Amino acid sequence: MIHRTAAAWQGITQKEQKLIASDSEYTKNSWQRQLQQAITDPAELLNTLELNTRYLPAAIAAAELFPLKVPMSFVERMKKGDIDDPLLMQVLPIDAECHITDGYSSDPVEEQAGQHRGIIHKYHGRALLMVNGHCAVNCRYCFRRHFPYDEHKLSREEWQNALEHIKADTSISEIIYSGGDPLASGDKQLSWLTQAIATIPHVKRLRIHSRLPVVIPDRITAESIEWMSQTRLATVMVLHINHAQELKSGILRTAISQMKNAGITVLNQSVLLKGVNDTLNIQVELSEMLFDAGVLPYYLHVLDKVQGSAHFDTMDNNAKALHQAMTARLPGYLVPKLVREVAHEPSKITV
């Protein structure tokens, strides 16, 4: 075990500390170390990006409501001195988050109640597992920023109960790993869970929704490729990339190639964010760069109306006009579906 001073553990959860301390492959450039060293102090983020400290009081206040967390590998893709950098805008706490906005709630898609422990089962044939309550980055628009993850932590016995629930429901053909970020769990845990799911005959597909390979591309390891690709399940990785600038990482492109070479389908979903990616040129560039990297655009979500995110929202008419312009500019396979999630509907709704 590698011993650390108390200061070295600042900004990381106890669960993440245990994961790091127990991992025999914890090395200088490992994803665990990068997760440990993620920036959690607004002053450090502003200083790193050479930004005026006048933004600090608002950032501190907003971070009290929803903590700042962003890995250096993501910060390195931001432009220094630019408060309007599209990657920075996704992670920097600001004063607008402190305002209560009518029509926004802590549970915009109403998924916090009435669920089997650890499982969210909203759509026919698909069950979502809350694999991990932690993320490598805290996106300010996150629709689960108020989600009670502590209530969904599962022991090994409870995971067995969740697996029994899946076994008993023969309508389930696809399992979705979500969270938090499922890849914040270690490969040993994910390998065990995936192999257990692969023994359930009626489950055909495994879908993994993760932003971690985007913000810490080193998360895609030989071990992760192995458990994702070495069962009978057809595996789909759905990345979360909102802006072409996020793809300006050679390590990320290599990770995508490794997944594709292993037979894993790689898709992307993004969120339409005012001031970040709500123009035609930005969306076209994103789709083109995704395809160049081997990723197909999948969904473009309008914002889920979570309290604290209203400043990112766009009008439906503007979203529709943008999507129509994308359809005129791009081949059909590069145009993501424009959708929103509505509580209790049997599927996502086309906008």
Q: How far apart are CA 109 and CA 144, in angstroms?
A: 9
Q: How far apart are CA 328 and CA 22, in angstroms?
A: 52
The tens digit of pLDDT for each residue in 259-270 reads 999 999 999 999
Q: How much is the mean pLDDT over the chain?
A: 89
Q: Report CA Rg, the chain.
A: 20
pTM, to two decimals = 0.88
Choose among 250, 30, 207, 45: nearest CA to 137: 45
Q: How far apart are CA 287 and CA 341, in angstroms?
A: 22
Q: How far apart are CA 99 and CA 124, in angstroms?
A: 37
The tens digit of pLDDT for each residue in 166-208 reads 999 999 999 999 988 999 999 999 999 999 999 999 999 999 9
Domain architecture of the chain: domains with CATH: 7-98 (no CATH), 119-350 (3.20.20.70)
Q: What is the pLDDT at residue 188?
A: 95
Q: What is the pLDDT at residue 56?
A: 98
| Angle between helix 222-229 and 187-198 (nearest 10) | 10
What is the DSSP code (8-state) at residue 212? H
Q: How far apart are CA 318 and CA 313, in angstroms?
A: 11
**Mean pLDDT of the 79-88 span:** 98
